[in-house]
Structure 1
Amino acid sequence: MNNAASSDCTNSRRYFVNFNQDCTSLAVGSQNGYRLFALNNSIDALEQIYNNTTEDSCIVERLFSSSLVAVVSISTPRKLQVCHFKKGTQICNYSYSNTILGVKLNRARLVVCMIDSICIHNIRDMKVLHTIRDTPRNPQGLCALSTNNEHCYLAYPGSLTVGEVQIFDVMNLQAKTMIPAHESPVAALAFSPSGIRIATASEKGTVIRVFSVVDGSKVFEFRRGMKRCVAISSLVFSMCSGFLACSSNTETVHVFKLEETSNADFKRGDDSSWMGYLSTYLPTQVSTVLSQGRAFSTAHLPVSGVRNCVGITVIQNQLRLLVATEDGVLYVYNIDPNEGGDLSLKVQHRLDGGMEETSELDSVSNRTTTEHVNVEAASGSTIGSYAGVLKGNPIGQMSGTDSEKFREMAAATESPPKGGFQFNDDQEYPPLTQKTD
Structure 2
Amino acid sequence: MSSSSSSSQASSHSQHPILCASFNQDNSGFAVSSRDGFKIFDSNTGRLCYERGESLSPSSFLLCVGAFGIVEMLYSSSLLAIVGGGEQPSLSPRRLCLFNTTTGTALRELNFLTSVLAVRLNKKRLVVVLQEKTYIYDSNSLAILDTIDTVPNVKGLCAFSPSLDGCFLALPASTTKGSVLVYNVMDIHLHCEIDAHRAPLAAVALSTNGKYIATASEQGTIIRVHLVPEATKSYSFRRGTYPSTIFSLSFGPSLELPDILVATSSSGSVHVFSLGFALNQRTRRSNSLLGLLPDSVSDALDPAHHHVLHNAVSAGVKSYVVVRKVDKVAETSPADFVVCRATLSVVTFNGFFLEYVVNINSQNESKWSLEREFNLLSSTSGEEQHFQLV
Report the TM-score range of the alignment, normalised by the length of the smaller protein.
0.7 to 0.9
Q: Which has the larger radius of gyration?
A: 1
Match 2:191 to one of 153, 176, 180: 176
Q: Which has the higher contact order (CA 8 A, sep 6+)?
A: 1
> Which residue in the other structure is 2:248 paired with?
234
Letter in 1 for 2:305: R
What's 1:309 paired with? 320
The equivalences for 1:70-109 within 5 A come to 70-75=81-86, 76-109=92-125
Q: Which runs of 5+ in 2 are unaligned?
A: 56-64, 87-91, 289-296, 329-340
| Residue 180 of structure 1: how far off its partner (Å) | 0.9
Select 2:379's aligned residue among 345, 355, 359.
355
Structure 1 residues 132 and 242, CA, compared in 2 at 3 Å: closer, same or farther? Answer: same
Judged with a 3 Å threshold, the aligned counterparts in structure 2 of structure 1 residues 31 and 333 are, in CA distance, closer, same or farther, namely: same
Indicate yes or no: 2:202 matched with 1:199: no
- What is the match of residue 112 of structure 1? 128
Q: 2:21 aligns with which of 17, 20, 35?
A: 17
* 1:208 positional shift: 0.9
Q: What's the TM-score once normalised by structure 2's chain length?
A: 0.82
- Counterpart amino acid of residue 104 in structure 1: R
Say if 2:205 is the partner of 1:190.
Answer: yes
Inter-CA distance 230–211: structure 2 relative to 1 (3 Å threshold): same
- How big is the shift at 1:346? 2.1
Deviations 1:320-365 (A, max 9, x none): 111101111011111225365242222211000x234323359xxx
CA shift, 1:263, in A, is 4.1
Deviation at 1:297, TM superposition (A): 5.0
Matched, 1:49 2:17: no
**1:197–1:82: structure 2 CA closer, same or farther, 3 Å change rule?**
same
Any conservation in 2 of the 1:106–1:147 contact (CA below 8 Å)? Answer: yes
Superposition deviation, residue 269 in structure 1: 11
Structure 2 residue identity aligned to 1:207: I
Superimposed CA distance per residue, residues 82-130 of structure 1 (whole angstroms, 9 cap, x where no aligned partner): 1111221211111101011111111211111111110111111212111
Instruction: Work out the CA distance in 2 between the residues paired with 1:166 and 1:293.
Output: 31
Q: Aligned equivalents of 1:59 and 1:12: distance in 2? A: 17
Segment of structure 1 superposing worse, 339-348 or 62-71:
339-348
> Is 1:250 equivalent to 2:210 in the alignment?
no
In 2, Cα distance between equivalents of 1:198 and 1:265: 24
Kept after mapping to 2: 8 A contact 1:57/1:74: yes
* Separation (CA, whole Å) in 1 of partners of 2:261 and 2:327: 20
CA-to-aligned-CA distance 1:377-425 (integer Å, 9 cap, x gap): xxxxxxxxxxxxxxxxxxxxxxxxxxxxxxxxxxxxxxxxxxxxxxxxx
* Distance in 1 of aligned mates of 2:283 and 2:227: 16
Residues of 1 paired with 2:118 and 2:95: CA distance? 12
**Who is 1:371 aligned against?**
none
Q: How does 1:371-382 map to 2 (within 5 A)?
A: none
Preserved contact between residue 236 and residue 300 of structure 2 (Cα < 8 Å): no
Output one character per residue of 1:204-240: Cα deviation in whole Å (capped at 9) or x when no partner. 11111111111111112111111x1011100001212
1:33 aligns with 2:58: no
Deviation at 1:10, TM superposition (A): 4.6
Query: What TM-score results when the alignment is normalised by the length of structure 1?
Result: 0.73
2:348 paired residue among 325, 348, 356: 325
Return 5+ residue gaps in structure 1 as ranges: 271-283, 363-426, 431-437
1:20-39 per-residue CA deviation (whole Å, 9 max, x = no partner) reads 11111110111111000001
What is the Cα deviation at residue 177 of structure 1?
Answer: 0.5
Give the CA deviation at 1:300: 3.1
Aligned counterpart, 1:366? none
1:58 has 2:81 as partner? no
How far residue 298 of structure 1 moved from its aligned partner, in angstroms, is: 3.0
Q: Which structure shows the higher strand fraction?
A: 2
Question: One-letter code of the match for 1:359?
Answer: E
Relative to structure 1, the CA distance from residue 299 to residue 89 in structure 2 (aligned partners, 3 Å threshold; closer, same or farther) is farther
* Matched residue SS, 1:69: strand
Residue of 4, 7, 11 corresponding to 2:7: 4
Q: RMSD value over aligned CA atoms?
A: 2.5
Over 3 Å counting, the alpha-carbon distance change for 1:238 and 1:269 in structure 2 is closer
Whole-angstrom CA distance in 2 between matches of 1:251 and 1:194: 29
Q: CA distance change for structure 1 residues 95 and 290 in 2, over 3 Å: closer, same or farther?
A: closer
Identity of aligned residues (%): 31
Partner of 2:231: 216
TM superposition shift of 1:296: 3.6
Mapped contact 1:147–1:193 kept (Cα < 8 A)? yes
The alignment of Structure 1 onto Structure 2 pairs a total of residues equal to: 343
